[in-house]
């Protein structure tokens, strides 16, 4: 545990080297309300992550910090064998879409049952669960993941409902739908028939 705390202190020293006050101020204006925002960009965060071990205790310790960059580094440094353990909890603790984007890309789409979980999250009434669900589905579809007939009906029902009732998530739903259909006219026709009007 002491080693983990020492590593986190060393990470914070690295973050201070790349501090950007202008970026930090801009991120606060966008509504990020962390205790600390160093304003470090993603390429530099990846450089910092490469200097430290991929370790579950370290990742969990960083996630607990109310610091923008610590949350992101936690995602970068989480080992694959811990994905299943933390996935649901970390979605629930996400406060901003920046975290959700990286969590979906690096962790959620690599879960053993990612498709089923993503459909469940996309159907949630919680904003960031729903966002993570559609973002994860988009990553999966872009990578060639398909759906069973039953899953397709569930996906179509969720997306159709979003288009009719929830403009907040329509962009994420459309992105996932486009990646799923991927210029496949049969899939496109099936969705349009399900929805009752031509959308894609």
pLDDT for position 1: 62
Angle at Cα 149 formed by Cα 156 and Cα 198, nearest 5°?
A: 35
Predicted TM-score (pTM) of the model is 0.92
pLDDT for position 185: 94
Q: Can you tell me the distance from the alpha carbon of 183 to that of 200, in angstroms, rounded to the nearest whole number? A: 9
pLDDT for position 175: 96
**Strand pairing partners for 67?**
36
Q: What average pLDDT values come out for the chain (200 residues) when binned by 10 residues?
A: 89 97 96 97 97 98 98 98 96 95 97 97 94 97 96 97 86 96 94 90
Q: What is the 3-state secondary structure (H, E, C) of 10-68?
A: HHHHHHHHCCCHHHHHHHHHCCCCCCECCCCCHHHHHHHHCCCCCCHHHHHHHHHCCEH
Beta-carbon contacts of 26 under 8 Å, excluding residues fewer than 6 positions away, are 39
């Amino acid at each position: 545990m002491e080693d983990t705390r020492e590593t986190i202190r060393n990470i914070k020293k690295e973050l201070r080297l790349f501090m950007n006050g202008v970026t930090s101020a801009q991120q606060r204006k966008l509504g990020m309300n962390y205790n600390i925002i160093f304003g470090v960009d993603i390429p530099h965060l990846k450089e910092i992550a490469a200097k430290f071990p991929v370790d579950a205790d370290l990742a969990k310790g960083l996630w607990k910090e109310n610091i923008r960059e610590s949350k992101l580094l936690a995602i970068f440094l989480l080992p694959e064998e811990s994905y299943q353990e933390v996935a649901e909890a970390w979605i629930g603790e996400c406060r901003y879409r920046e975290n959700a984007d990286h969590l979906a890309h690096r962790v959620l789409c690599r879960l053993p049952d990612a498709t089923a979980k993503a459909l469940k999250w996309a159907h949630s009434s919680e904003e960031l669960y729903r966002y993570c669900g559609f973002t994860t589905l988009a990553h999966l579809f872009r990578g060639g993941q398909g759906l069973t007939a039953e899953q397709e009906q569930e996906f179509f029902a969720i997306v159709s409902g979003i288009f009719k009732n929830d403009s907040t998530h329509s962009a994420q739903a459309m992105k996932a739908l486009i990646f799923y259909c991927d210029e496949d006219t049969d899939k496109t026709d099936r969705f349009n028939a399900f929805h009752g009007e031509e959308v894609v």
